[in-house]
Amino acid sequence: MPVLEILKFPDPKLKSKSLPVKKIDDNLCQLVRDMAETMYAAPGVGLAAPQVGHLIRVAVIDVTPANQPKNLLVLINPEIVSTEGECTWEEGCLSVPDYNEEIKRKETVTVRCQDLEGKTKEVTGEGLLAIALQHEIDHLNGVLFIDHISSLKRALYKRKLKKEKKEKQEGKGQ
Ligand SMILES: [Zn+2]
Protein backbone atom coordinates (compact mmCIF):
# COMPACT_ATOMS: atom_id res chain seq x y z
CA MET A 1 0.00 0.00 0.00
CA PRO A 2 1.42 3.38 -0.93
CA VAL A 3 2.26 5.96 1.66
CA LEU A 4 2.27 9.39 0.07
CA GLU A 5 5.10 11.89 0.24
CA ILE A 6 4.33 14.79 2.57
CA LEU A 7 5.35 18.19 1.18
CA LYS A 8 7.41 20.34 3.50
CA PHE A 9 7.54 24.09 4.08
CA PRO A 10 8.38 26.18 1.99
CA ASP A 11 6.80 24.15 -0.84
CA PRO A 12 4.59 26.63 -2.78
CA LYS A 13 1.68 24.16 -2.88
CA LEU A 14 1.32 24.61 0.87
CA LYS A 15 0.62 28.31 0.27
CA SER A 16 -2.09 27.68 -2.34
CA LYS A 17 -5.82 27.77 -1.85
CA SER A 18 -7.47 24.42 -2.60
CA LEU A 19 -10.52 24.00 -4.81
CA PRO A 20 -13.84 22.45 -3.73
CA VAL A 21 -14.46 18.79 -4.54
CA LYS A 22 -17.23 18.52 -7.14
CA LYS A 23 -17.40 14.79 -7.64
CA ILE A 24 -16.77 11.98 -5.19
CA ASP A 25 -15.39 9.14 -7.30
CA ASP A 26 -13.09 6.13 -6.94
CA ASN A 27 -9.98 8.29 -7.36
CA LEU A 28 -11.03 10.46 -4.46
CA CYS A 29 -11.82 7.45 -2.27
CA GLN A 30 -8.38 6.03 -3.07
CA LEU A 31 -6.72 9.34 -2.24
CA VAL A 32 -8.55 9.47 1.10
CA ARG A 33 -7.42 5.92 1.92
CA ASP A 34 -3.82 6.78 1.03
CA MET A 35 -4.00 10.01 3.03
CA ALA A 36 -5.30 8.16 6.10
CA GLU A 37 -2.53 5.60 5.80
CA THR A 38 0.08 8.34 5.39
CA MET A 39 -1.27 10.15 8.46
CA TYR A 40 -1.22 7.00 10.63
CA ALA A 41 2.27 6.08 9.43
CA ALA A 42 3.72 9.56 10.06
CA PRO A 43 2.22 9.47 12.79
CA GLY A 44 -0.02 12.51 12.90
CA VAL A 45 -3.54 13.48 13.98
CA GLY A 46 -4.49 15.17 10.72
CA LEU A 47 -3.52 15.54 7.08
CA ALA A 48 -4.88 17.81 4.37
CA ALA A 49 -4.79 17.03 0.63
CA PRO A 50 -2.46 19.95 -0.27
CA GLN A 51 0.15 18.41 2.06
CA VAL A 52 0.36 15.49 -0.37
CA GLY A 53 0.25 17.71 -3.45
CA HIS A 54 -3.49 17.70 -4.24
CA LEU A 55 -5.05 21.17 -4.17
CA ILE A 56 -8.56 20.00 -3.30
CA ARG A 57 -10.63 20.57 -0.16
CA VAL A 58 -10.17 17.21 1.54
CA ALA A 59 -8.69 16.36 4.93
CA VAL A 60 -8.50 13.41 7.31
CA ILE A 61 -8.31 13.59 11.10
CA ASP A 62 -8.01 11.04 13.87
CA VAL A 63 -7.37 12.34 17.36
CA THR A 64 -7.95 9.03 19.17
CA PRO A 65 -5.02 8.03 21.41
CA ALA A 66 -2.82 5.33 19.87
CA ASN A 67 -3.98 2.64 22.33
CA GLN A 68 -7.65 3.00 21.33
CA PRO A 69 -9.52 1.83 18.20
CA LYS A 70 -9.13 4.15 15.22
CA ASN A 71 -11.83 6.71 14.51
CA LEU A 72 -11.12 8.27 11.12
CA LEU A 73 -12.87 11.49 10.27
CA VAL A 74 -13.03 12.29 6.54
CA LEU A 75 -13.76 15.92 5.71
CA ILE A 76 -14.76 16.90 2.19
CA ASN A 77 -15.34 20.60 1.49
CA PRO A 78 -15.27 21.44 5.21
CA GLU A 79 -16.22 24.88 6.46
CA ILE A 80 -16.44 26.29 9.95
CA VAL A 81 -20.04 27.29 10.67
CA SER A 82 -19.70 28.37 14.30
CA THR A 83 -17.08 28.81 17.01
CA GLU A 84 -17.02 29.39 20.73
CA GLY A 85 -14.39 30.63 23.16
CA GLU A 86 -10.65 30.93 22.70
CA CYS A 87 -7.67 28.90 23.77
CA THR A 88 -3.95 28.52 23.22
CA TRP A 89 -2.57 25.21 22.02
CA GLU A 90 0.93 24.03 21.20
CA GLU A 91 0.81 22.87 17.59
CA GLY A 92 3.04 21.10 15.17
CA CYS A 93 2.60 20.07 11.55
CA LEU A 94 3.85 17.20 9.40
CA SER A 95 4.82 19.82 6.79
CA VAL A 96 6.80 21.90 9.30
CA PRO A 97 9.09 19.29 10.89
CA ASP A 98 10.77 19.68 14.27
CA TYR A 99 8.89 22.80 15.26
CA ASN A 100 6.12 23.45 17.79
CA GLU A 101 4.62 26.72 18.83
CA GLU A 102 1.67 27.95 20.86
CA ILE A 103 -1.14 29.20 18.66
CA LYS A 104 -4.32 31.07 19.58
CA ARG A 105 -7.39 29.17 18.38
CA LYS A 106 -11.11 28.88 18.96
CA GLU A 107 -11.95 26.54 21.82
CA THR A 108 -14.94 24.83 20.19
CA VAL A 109 -15.75 24.70 16.48
CA THR A 110 -18.57 23.26 14.43
CA VAL A 111 -17.68 22.24 10.90
CA ARG A 112 -20.03 21.38 8.07
CA CYS A 113 -18.67 19.04 5.43
CA GLN A 114 -19.48 16.07 3.24
CA ASP A 115 -18.50 12.47 3.84
CA LEU A 116 -17.37 9.96 1.20
CA GLU A 117 -21.01 9.16 0.39
CA GLY A 118 -21.60 12.81 -0.40
CA LYS A 119 -23.83 13.28 2.63
CA THR A 120 -23.60 16.57 4.46
CA LYS A 121 -22.71 16.26 8.12
CA GLU A 122 -21.73 18.50 11.00
CA VAL A 123 -18.87 17.83 13.37
CA THR A 124 -18.42 19.70 16.62
CA GLY A 125 -15.07 19.44 18.32
CA GLU A 126 -13.37 20.77 21.39
CA GLY A 127 -9.85 20.27 22.68
CA LEU A 128 -7.49 18.55 20.26
CA LEU A 129 -10.29 17.88 17.75
CA ALA A 130 -11.18 21.60 17.60
CA ILE A 131 -7.51 22.44 17.02
CA ALA A 132 -7.10 19.77 14.33
CA LEU A 133 -10.24 20.95 12.50
CA GLN A 134 -8.98 24.54 12.42
CA HIS A 135 -5.44 23.48 11.49
CA GLU A 136 -6.56 21.27 8.57
CA ILE A 137 -9.07 23.81 7.21
CA ASP A 138 -6.25 26.38 7.33
CA HIS A 139 -4.22 24.06 5.07
CA LEU A 140 -7.04 24.11 2.50
CA ASN A 141 -6.75 27.90 2.48
CA GLY A 142 -2.97 27.86 2.05
CA VAL A 143 -2.33 28.79 5.68
CA LEU A 144 0.23 27.06 7.91
CA PHE A 145 0.29 27.28 11.71
CA ILE A 146 3.51 29.28 11.45
CA ASP A 147 1.48 31.95 9.64
CA HIS A 148 -0.23 32.55 12.98
CA ILE A 149 2.99 33.25 14.92
CA SER A 150 4.87 36.53 15.12
CA SER A 151 7.07 37.50 12.19
CA LEU A 152 10.08 37.42 14.53
CA LYS A 153 9.44 33.79 15.50
CA ARG A 154 8.82 32.89 11.86
CA ALA A 155 12.11 34.52 10.85
CA LEU A 156 13.90 32.49 13.53
CA TYR A 157 12.34 29.31 12.21
CA LYS A 158 13.39 30.13 8.62
CA ARG A 159 16.93 30.82 9.84
CA LYS A 160 16.98 27.44 11.62
CA LEU A 161 15.85 25.71 8.39
CA LYS A 162 18.51 27.46 6.36
CA LYS A 163 21.20 26.46 8.84
CA GLU A 164 20.07 22.83 8.79
CA LYS A 165 20.03 22.80 4.99
CA LYS A 166 23.54 24.27 4.88
CA GLU A 167 24.82 21.74 7.40
CA LYS A 168 23.32 18.93 5.33
CA GLN A 169 24.99 20.21 2.16
CA GLU A 170 28.33 20.63 3.89
CA GLY A 171 27.97 17.14 5.28
CA LYS A 172 27.49 15.80 1.75
CA GLY A 173 30.58 17.60 0.50
CA GLN A 174 32.90 15.87 2.96
ZN1 LIG B 1 -0.45 20.75 9.29
CA atoms within 13 A on the CB side of 93: 29
Centre of ligand 1 to C-alpha 106, Å, is 17
Cis peptide preceding 43, ω within 30 of 0:
yes
Q: Taking residues 27-55, what's their average pLDDT?
A: 97
What local confidence, expressed as pLDDT, does residue 25 receive? Answer: 97
Centre of ligand 1 to C-alpha 76, Å, is 16
Q: What percent of the chain has pLDDT over 90?
A: 92
Q: Taking residues 88-103, what's their average pLDDT?
A: 95
What local confidence, expressed as pLDDT, does residue 95 receive? Answer: 97
Centre of ligand 1 to C-alpha 174, Å, is 34
Q: Which residues are marked as active site?
A: 136
What local confidence, expressed as pLDDT, does residue 174 receive? Answer: 53
CA gap 46, 61 in Å, rounded: 4
Of the pLDDT bands very low, low, confident and very high (cuts 50, 70, 90), residue 172 is: low
80, pLDDT greater than 90:
yes
What local confidence, expressed as pLDDT, does residue 81 receive? Answer: 98
What's the pTM value of the predicted model, to 2 decimals?
0.94
Written as one letter, the residue type at 119 is K
What local confidence, expressed as pLDDT, does residue 2 receive? Answer: 67
CA atoms within 13 A on the CB side of 167: 6
Task: Give the model confidence (pLDDT) of 46-65 as tens digits.
Answer: 999 999 999 999 999 999 99
Centre of ligand 1 to C-alpha 34, Å, is 17
Tell me 56's DSSP state.
Answer: B
51-83: burial string, b at 16+ Cβ within 10 Å, e else: bbebebbbbbbbbeeeeeeeeebbbbbbeeeee
Burial of 12 (0-12, 13-18, 19+ CB in 10 A): exposed
Tell me 95's DSSP state.
Answer: T
Task: Give the model confidence (pLDDT) of 98-154 as tens digits.
Answer: 999 999 999 999 999 999 999 999 999 999 999 999 999 999 999 999 999 999 999
CA gap 48, 53 in Å, rounded: 9
